[in-house]
Amino acid sequence: MTQIKLSLLALLVGWTAGAQAESTTQQKGVAQEVRAEAELGVILTSGNTETASFKGKVALKHETQNWENEYLFDSLYKEDRLDNDGVKETEVTAEKYFISAQSNYKLNKKKSALFVYGSYTDDRFSGFKYQSSVAFGYSDQLFSTDTSHFKYSVGPGYTFNESNSGVADESSMLRLALAYENTLSDSAKFNQSLSSEVVFEEGSNTLSKSETAITSKLMGNLNLKASYLVTHNSEVAADKEKTDTTTSISVVFLF
């Protein structure tokens, strides 16, 4: 079943790339814009408490006259080194991988677009073997100023989840995503993103996320980022918490 969901996301990415290639072929001479950022955070402690935490994230945007494609890979890994009667043992306490792709077909020269979205999450400690979703719909920009903008996307879709106990759940849902950015100064900006995949069937899981971040420019394309991520699952196993939070400070490279 996991391979099926991965294939579904791969199909979405392949469709996006194919559509983009076709669009590019039809638009010879039209400038393309590619923006990317790579984020890395590491926390190491020693002494009475020995831990190692790693956070990695890569975001890519590819834009032409008619298309805007967005790709994201995010990961988190944490391990603790414990002293068990004089014997050092390593225990993994967090391991999460997330990948998503969204393709936006522009309807006009403003920001209105039709989108197709797909995601896949593998979180070892969430109570789920995997969580994946696909959605399509409409996206637009509510407002834009010299220093800020606010975007949203909304549309129906489908979720595919499987718990650690082997219970599979497939449900229709409505996906809503909001993104706000405010340039605070020449060297700092504020970002707030919210998303929720609201299911229509009772007892099925609704997945919601919120990320608050402040990024400050250090030098050139090197930035420092502080972020707070909240992930909420409405339906989890009895021994799991519904809400996970991650506070991180990381270095971001812009390309």
Q: How far is CA 20 from CA 24, 58, 68, 69, 100, in A?
A: 6, 20, 9, 8, 17
Query: What type of residue sits at position 88?
Result: K
pLDDT tens digits for range 159-187: 999 988 888 889 999 999 999 999 999 99
pLDDT digits (tens, 9 = 90+) for 147-157: 999 999 999 99
DSSP state of 64: -
Residue 238 confidence (pLDDT) above 90: no
Query: Exposure string (b/e) for 208-217, b if CB count within 10 Å is 16 or more?
Result: bbbbbbebeb
Residue range of the domain that includes 205: 2-25+34-254
Decide if 115 contacts 136 (C-beta within 8 A): yes
Q: What are the backbone dihedrals phi and psi of residue 2, each rounded to the nearest 5 degrees, phi first?
A: -60, -40
Rounded Cα gap, residues 224 and 39, in angstroms:
9
Average pLDDT over residues 63-79: 92
- Mind spelling out the 3-state secondary structure of 87-128? EEEEEEEEEEEEEEEEEEEECCCCCCEEEEEEEEEEECCCCE
Q: Are the C-beta atoms of 132 and 158 separated by less than 8 Å?
A: no
C-alpha to C-alpha distance for 161 and 75, rounded to whole angstroms: 19
pLDDT in tens, 80-119: 887 777 677 788 988 999 999 999 999 987 789 999 999 9
Q: What residues form DSSP beta bridges with 54?
A: 42, 77
* Runs of H (alpha helix) within the chain: 2-26
- For the cut 70, the answer to whether the pLDDT of residue 48 exceeds it is no
The count of domains in the chain is 1
Short-list 81, 85, 104, 83, CA closest to 93:
81
Nearest 5°: phi and psi at 135?
A: -155, 160
Position 253: which residue type? F
| Residue 3: per-residue pLDDT | 47
Give the mean pLDDT of 206-232: 95
Integer Cα distance of 186 and 36 in angstroms: 20
Q: State residue 106's pLDDT score.
A: 93
Closest CA to 211 of 72, 5, 83: 72
CATH of the domain at 137: 2.40.160.40
pLDDT confidence of residue 7: 46
